[in-house]
Chains A and B, each alone.
Chain A
């Protein structure tokens, strides 16, 4: 795995976030590594690899921030965690729109919803996220291979 890709994606996401949020992209690197490894297996421009990874990190961060809320008492820390998660869930949509990753958004939207359902039921299945990305990358690759062959 190329650590530079992860570093670049962290930097890209941090730069895109509004400074007013005060969000620090502090997801542990091993959390981002599986998708980084996966992305490197596909032939795509580096800039797109970096964008896709930063979208993934935004979603992972949203999941992380909200999973930390249940143990917190009311106060500023809880407020920030709730807001950070809310902002990031909305922000990943904005990033997909900004970078014209419409197919990705359509692919992820039901998955993100299903993650919330599982979490609301008290049986998180967050691992579905990486599987959904894996499937998206396969489909995306098939699409681009097919369009090149035409």
Chain B
């Protein structure tokens, strides 16, 4: 069963709400290139993990403000999609969800400002509709993307830096990936009037899922086929990203010199050999083990929330993230 079916959240409704963000913007004519580009991006697919997390979070509160919850769910996807558009510019990725990336379709400037529009639209909607000041401040500060940017800066600062520590790597992953996921659960919970302790537990649960997700992503870069990845295995290392499998492999003294020799100018064959050596080492298993540890900690949080019927939804999320979707 698909995640959205297990959670009983119709993805069509989620998508409609996301599309409404632009359709009901009086400043954007429906026939404009901007509106078309965004609708096309939304319709190109996506798992909508973040909106689903907002809605799941709201199931922990006594008084879900349905309209607000759905709006926040759509906002979370807008923030995520905007960051993907900008990521593709930075990485010069030509494709996104099987289609040409936005900057290939509209040029760098066009794509940049489509992404900016999406982020600015979220801020506008929250500022306009949030009557209660306390909630307004909370919603806006939660969805602010400064942390996400800091994660990107941290990644940039450590390109080909083999002395980066595991703690620094985890901090970067938290900022870049886990924080938004954690926020999604918490913001949904708060919109439903959840108590502070539960909202905090949901944040920690989301953070652990996000960390596990990012770590698995780093493993997949080494284990999935080039065909499935759409790029050669070990692409992160080729572009200078020293991810967790590389950090664990660096602890092997026989492997470390070859890894440390990799730079932006290294020929593909040299990188191929190092990637193969990392694949053959125990580094991927060590990385997987840490990913599982985060999931185990997330499982503990589910147990603490087991008096809520919605704890089953957390279980569904956890199983989805651990790749054991039923």
Interface on A for B, CB 8 Å cutoff? 18, 20-22, 66-67, 69-70, 72, 74, 76, 78-80, 82-83, 85-87, 89-91, 93-94, 97, 102, 105-106, 109-110, 112-114, 116-117, 119-122
List 13 contacting pairs A-B, 8 Å CB cutoff, sorted by A.
A18-B146, A20-B154, A22-B153, A82-B90, A87-B149, A87-B153, A93-B123, A93-B140, A105-B140, A110-B128, A113-B117, A117-B27, A120-B116
**Given A109-B127, A114-B27: A18 touches B150 (CB 8 Å cut-off):** yes
A78 lies within 8 A of B153 (CB): no
Shortest beta-carbon distance, A148 to chain B, in Å? 22
Whether A89 pairs with B109 at a CB distance below 8 angstroms is no
**Contact present for B110 and A120 (CB under 8 Å):** yes
Asked if A78 meets B110 with Cβ closer than 8 Å, knowing A89-B116, A120-B34, the reply is: no
B28 contacts the other chain (Cβ, under 8 Å)? yes
The listed residue (B113, B152, B156) touching A120 by CB distance below 8 A is B113
In the complex, B95 has a CB within 8 A of chain A: no
Contact A102 B136 (CB under 8 A): yes
The complex places the Cα of A133 from the Cα of B107 at a distance, in Å, of 31
Q: Are A82 and B86 in contact (CB under 8 A)?
A: yes
B109, B124, B149, B156: which contacts A86 (Cβ < 8 A)?
B149
Using Cβ atoms and an 8 Å threshold, which residues of chain B touch A94?
Answer: 141, 144, 146
Tell me, in angstroms, the Cα distance from A106 to B137 when the chains sit together.
11
Indicate which residue in A82, A97, A121 contacts B140 across the interface (CB closer than 8 Å). Answer: A97
Report chain A residues within 8 Å CB of B32: 121
B90 is contacted by which of A70, A79, A113, A117 (Cβ under 8 Å)? A79
Min Cβ gap A139→B in Å is 15
Please give, as numbers and ranges, the residues of chain B lying within 8 Å of A102 by CB-CB distance: 133, 136-137
Q: How far is the CA of A122 from the CA of B106 in the complex (A)?
A: 11
Dominant secondary structure of chain B at its interface with chain A = helix
- Across the two chains, which residue of chain B brings its CB closest to A119? B113
B99 within 8 A of A: no
Query: Using Cβ atoms and an 8 Å threshold, which residues of chain A touch B86?
Result: 82, 86
Say whether A82 contacts B89, CB under 8 Å.
yes
Q: Determine if B145 is an interface residue (Cβ-Cβ < 8 Å).
A: yes
Q: Is the CB of A21 within 8 A of B149?
A: yes
**List of B residues within 8 angstroms of A74 by Cβ:** 89-92
B290 interface residue per 8 A CB criterion: no
Interchain CB contact under 8 A, B110 and A122: yes
Across the interface, name the chain B residue whose C-beta is closest to A70: B109
Q: Verify if B112 is at the interface (C-beta below 8 Å from A).
A: yes
Q: Do B120 and A113 touch (CB < 8 A)?
A: yes
B123 touches A79 (CB 8 A): no
Interface string of B239-259 (1 = CB under 8 A from A): 000000000000000000000
Q: A21-B149, A83-B149, A83-B152 are in contact. Are A112 and B123 (CB under 8 A)?
A: yes
Residues 302 to 326 of chain B near chain A (Cβ within 8 Å): none
Q: Does B226 contact A (CB under 8 A)?
A: no
B108 in the interface (beta carbon within 8 A)? yes
Chain A: CB-nearest residue to B141: A97
CB distance from B80 to the nearest CB of A (A): 13
Residue B114 at the A interface, CB < 8 A? yes
Question: Nearest 5 CB-CB pairs, A to B?
Answer: A113-B120, A120-B113, A70-B109, A74-B92, A87-B149
Instruction: Provide the B145-182 mask, 1 if CB < 8 A to any CB of A, else 0.
Output: 11001101110110000000000000000000000000
On whether the beta carbons of B144 and A90 are closer than 8 Å, the reply is: yes
